[in-house]
Amino acid sequence: MQTKSFSLIPLLIALAAGTLATPSVTFAAQHHATKPVAQKKKAAPATDPTPLLAAQVALAANPPELPAKAWLLMDFDSGEVLASANADEPLPPASLTKMMTSYLVEQALRSGKLKPTDLVSVSQNAWCRGSSTESCMYLPLNSQATVIDILRGIIIQSGNDASKAIAEHMAGSEEGFAKLMNAEAQRLGMTHTHFVNPTGLPDPDHKSSAHDLALLARAIIRDSADYYPIYAEREFKYNGIKQGNRNALLYTDPSVDGLKTGHTEEAGYCLVTSAKRNGMRLITVILNTHSAQARADESRTLLGWGYSSFEKVTPIQPNAVVANAKVSFGKADTVAAGLGAPWLLTVPRGQQVQTTVELNPGLEAPVAQGAVIGKVVATSNGKPVGEAPLVAQANVERAGILLRLWQHITGLFGK
């Protein structure tokens, strides 16, 4: 294959414009210089038919309205949806599909089913013929590439060839891999998703929802710590071809570290993003907006509203004794109950949080330190906002038979 190279000048121009084009191998600046104020004074152009979509769920005031078919903002720690619109409608996900492809690769690497240095063969079916209508890693026909290079090709270059090749390597065919994808989607609770292929190429039965894709993004961040940094890499060079990550926010917002772009004519421009600021990680999903510029701008808007509207609070300190639970038939009558791990909640800024303790009834010795013996529930404005388990802070051994008999008798008279 002839070696290809690309100038950095178009990339720099694209970055200056605040966006990167898709899905061509080369990058080009797009012209979206009209100011938002000017847009409000005149009707939307014929090329931008997407109406503003107001929030249907919002846990804080003044959520944005966005020109997309679906959008969502999720708190990573709790998985709570902070604001959304059309979040459960199954829509074409385009290359956002590849988040599930990369997730399955990452989990196979974690479990040892795959090794980073394993070689993956490129079949006629997987081979990308260089068409500008699809995104490719440009794996040569009948060549082999390592799993870790394939993973980068999927995440950074959005390679259809890389996705097909690893699907065939892991499951024998795209169809077999789609079964793995759907099984994993079911395990993650993605109830409005059905995958047909590992690439996101159009198919009437290939759908996902904004909420499901946020669940998938959360799983990647949580379960793929060793490989998640790849989602923040801005470029990858393979076969002499250097391509930049199409997530424009990676170049303009240092708090953004993933995840994936997508685009087909049917799906529009899509983006799943995650950012972390001051200990708070948020996930955004934008589905079917009208341009690469728009998907980046809408994600920025969602992140800006989220970080300005919510804050992290600690209702109870980890080392605090929350309550003393009564223990029957033990060498001690009570055991201290406290949090087993730090507890953080994401709530609207300035909102007061109250807590109530619920201890398990009928607690009997022996009780092991760390055993769950109740829970603490947090509420705000009368609504539950989270809960955490309470665990025993010490061991309580079972009393001898005479002491247990005495406790039983005194308990009878106590009634």
Give residue-wise pLDDT tens across range 242-282: 999 999 999 999 999 999 999 999 999 999 999 999 999 99
Considering the domain architecture, whether residues 294 and 258 belong to the same structural domain is answered as yes
Mean pLDDT, rounded, for 107-120? 98
| CATH number of the domain that residue 151 is part of | 3.40.710.10
Catalytic-labelled residue, pool 69, 84, 98, 209: 98
Q: Where does a domain end: 265, 281, 311?
A: 311
**How many domains is the chain built from?**
2
Q: In what order do the strands lie in the sheet with 354-359?
A: 321-326, 334-339, 383-392, 372-380, 354-359
For 190, the token pair is: 């993605």
Distance CA 200, CA 213 (A): 13
The reply to whether 294 and 215 lie within a common domain is yes
The domain boundary, picked from 311, 337, 365, lies at 311
Would you call 95 a catalytic residue per the annotation?
A: yes
Considering the domain architecture, whether residues 129 and 192 belong to the same structural domain is answered as yes
Say how many CA atoms lie within 13 Å of 159 toward its Cβ: 37
Residue 406 lies in a domain: yes
Average pLDDT over residues 52-76: 96
State both tokens at 339.
């949090």
- Are 83 and 113 contained in the same domain? yes
pLDDT tens digits, one per residue of 347-374: 999 999 999 999 999 899 999 999 999 9
Distance CA 384, CA 38 (A): 42
Q: Which amino acid is at 152?
A: R
Residue 317, pLDDT score: 86
**20 occurs within a structural domain:** yes
Contact criterion met (CB below 8 Å) for 354 and 336: no
If you average pLDDT over residues 130-158, what whole number do you get?
A: 92
Whether residue 216 is contained in a domain is answered as yes
Return the bridge partners of 131, or none: none
Given 69, 84, 95, 224, the catalytic residue? 95
pLDDT band at 399 (very low <50, low <70, confident <90, very high): confident
Check whether residue 295 and residue 335 sit in a common domain: no
Is the domain of 161 the same as that of 84? yes
Quick check: is 242 catalytic? no
In this structure, are 332 and 278 located in the same domain?
Answer: no
Residue bearing tokens 């500008």 = 132
What is the torsion angle, in degrees rounded to the nearest 10, for the CA atoms of residue 117, residue 123, residue 126 and residue 132?
Answer: 110
Does residue 143 surpass a pLDDT of 70? yes
pLDDT at 406: 54
Q: Same domain, yes or no, for 263 and 347?
A: no
Give the DSSP letter of residue 364: B
CB neighbour list of residue 36: distance below 8 Å, 6 or more residues apart:
none
Task: Determine which helix (DSSP H) or strand (DSSP E) holds 99, and give its type and residue range.
Answer: helix 98-111
Does residue 221 have a pLDDT over 80? yes
Same domain, 328 and 268: no
The amino acid present at 248, given as its one-letter code, is A
Q: Helices (DSSP H) in 33-97: which residue ranges? A: 36-40
User: Containing domain of residue 331, as a range?
Assistant: 321-414
Q: Are residues 305 and 330 in the same domain?
A: no
**What is the pLDDT of the chain when averaged over all its residues?**
87
Task: Provide the CB-side half-sphere exposure for 398 (13 A, CA).
Answer: 7
Check if 158 is active-site. yes
Within this chain, do residues 265 and 325 fall inside the same structural domain, yes or no?
Answer: no
Task: For residue 63, tell me if it sits in a domain.
Answer: yes
Q: How confident is the model at residue 45 (pLDDT cuts 50, 70, 90)?
A: very low
Final residue of a domain: which of 311, 343, 374? 311
Active-site pick, 84, 102, 135, 158: 158
Mean pLDDT, residues 373-393: 91
CA 101, distance to chain mean position in Å, is 14
Ranges of H-type helices in 188-319: 210-223, 249-252, 292-309
